[in-house]
Amino acid sequence: MKVLFGFQELFEIIELGYAKLADQAVVTALTQGQRDSLRENRKKDKKALFLLYQFINEVIFENISSATTTKKAWEMLQNSYKDNKKVKNVRSQTLRDEFESLSMKNYETISDYVSRVQFVVNQLRDNGEKLDDLHVVENIARSLIGCFDYVVTIIEKGRGFSNMIVKELQSSLYSHEHRMNHRETNIVEQAFQSKVNLSSSSKSNSNSSGGKGSV
């Protein structure tokens, strides 16, 4: 908002306001240059007030709608956000607690879990929290289910986490997950094939026994 008002050369009128001369006699006593300046400042103030209203929601508008100048509206807006700062601090603490207590579920894939972590991280950052990638990477690594302990240990003993971004960690974990799933699929297929072979062998033996009996 400050950048926009500065670009429009309106921020000075917002911070300082302008002299409202209600007495027409006083206005009449002004020089032409002073009257032109007053008229220009009024136009700027209305323009700034209009722009200010574009940034706020209906609830905040109700709080500042009684303001007749942008300076007054700006002061009321600042006071309104000061009250909201307490709410923001409570929300930040709640999100921090949620972030620190995150843990992967047994049924989650790496992609699903990292997305869930990233969602909380984005909320924290949107709320003004400074959270670097190292903290996020370490939090993910420590909160994985046990089957990823091996790959986490390899990373720790190798390059470590200090220069790793979330995407790199996710890629390493996904590769490990893919190998595990592939291995489990092979085991299931082998078990199924063994069962089929055993069943076929049993039928074959049964048929052979039956044939000998008929002779």
Q: Are residues 134 and 66 in the same domain?
A: no
Domain boundaries, position 117: 102-184
The top-scoring range by mean pLDDT among 21-35, 41-55, 185-199 is: 41-55
Q: Are residues 72 and 113 in the same domain?
A: no
**pTM score, whole prediction:** 0.50
Q: Are residues 121 and 69 in the same domain?
A: no
Domain count, the chain: 2
Residue 164 lies in a domain: yes
Q: Are residues 26 and 70 in the same domain?
A: yes
Contact 128, 92 (CB under 8 A): yes
pLDDT > 90 fraction of the chain, expressed in percent and rounded: 22
Residue 26 lies in a domain: yes
Q: Are residues 68 and 112 in the same domain?
A: no
DSSP 144: S
Residue 30 lies in a domain: yes
Q: What is the pLDDT of residues 153-209, one digit of tens each?
A: 998 888 888 889 999 999 989 888 888 776 655 554 554 455 545 555 555 555 555
Residue 62 lies in a domain: yes
Residue 84 lies in a domain: no
Residue 70 lies in a domain: yes
Q: What is the pLDDT of residues 54-83, one digit of tens each?
A: 766 666 676 677 776 777 777 877 776 665
Burial class (CB in 10 A: 0-12, 13-18, 19+), 23: exposed
How many residues are recorded in the chain? 215
Q: Are residues 121 and 163 in the same domain?
A: yes
Q: Are residues 119 and 155 in the same domain?
A: yes
